Each structure stands twice: as structure tokens, then as C-alpha cells.
Amino acid sequence: MMAAGYTMDLYCDNRPCQLAVRNGYPSVFMNQFYGQTFGECKKTAKKSGWMFRKDDTHVCPLCNTKNKKKTPASGTTITAL
């Protein structure tokens, strides 16, 4: 039997979130996405409000100014740091 899968852990690279983590505030969150491929995980993350920049940084749904809904999509795991 062979099993395959992909897990994507995303942390916000936006400056306010990074400063909050350094100062010990637990309000910044991490999302974990599961799927068969990277593309499937990325698609789910984008539906959840995450933004992927060309410089390989990620912006969470709370910091993403283009995000119209500020809540994560169903099926995602949110973990407070």
C-alpha cells in the first residue's frame, strides 16, 4: 500500500504579525493545510484569504488588505502561537 499527501504550514510574513510574535503576543496565528499536492494546498489557502507574493512571502487573512472575508475557510486548522 502506498500513501501520499502534502502538508503546508503558513506563517504570516507581514511586519505587524512578525513584531507581535517577537513581543510575545499570541494573537498571530498559523494555518495548516492538507492535500495531495502543493497546488491543492495553495488553492485552499487562497480561498481562506492567504496571499502569496512573488518574493515567496505569505500574508495572513487578517493582514491581507485585499481579503474581503476575514475568516478562514472550512477544513483549515488554526493554531495560536
Strands 29-35 and 77-80: antiparallel
Check residue 28 and give left, alpha or beta (phi > 0: left; psi -120 to 50: alpha). beta
What is the chain's pLDDT, residue by residue, as a tens digit (81 residues)? 666 789 998 888 888 777 776 676 655 567 889 899 999 999 999 998 899 988 988 888 888 877 665 554 444 444 444
Specify the pLDDT at position 12. Answer: 85
81/69 Cα distance (integer angstroms): 22
Between CA 76 and CA 55 the distance in angstroms is 24
Q: Where are the alpha helices (DSSP H) in 1-81?
A: 15-22, 38-48
Could you identify the residue written with the cell 472550512?
74
Domain edges within the chain: 6-80
